[in-house]
Amino acid sequence: MAHAPIDVTDPAVLRRLASDRSFRERLFASTEEELGCLGVAVSPRSRLALQAARAAKLRGQDEFREAQVLRCSVSF
């Protein structure tokens, strides 16, 4: 099936990411070759943007620290 090529720097991609979970997962899990099959144009800027996105790592904190509700931003 033919796809119209999309560029990951296109705002439409981000809007789709916000609403389509499976698209989100496919986009970040696919290799460059697979992205081509998905119709994603892999321009130099797209490639770097995707690499940047994939480099995002969680710190893996298991315990949620109690969020601090601090109203005293400046004190003496």
Among 1, 11, 31, 33, binds another protein (CB under 8 A): 11
Per CB under 8 A, 75 contacts another protein = yes
Q: Are 28 and 63 in contact (CB under 8 A)?
A: no
Per CB under 8 A, 21 contacts another protein = yes
Per-residue binding letters, 34-63, with another protein (x by CB under 8 A): ----------xxx-xxxxxxxxxxxxxxxx
Among 24, 32, 34, 39, binds another protein (CB under 8 A): 24
- CA separation for the pair 13, 7 (Å, rounded): 7
How many CA atoms does the CB half-sphere of 10 hold within 13 Å? 12
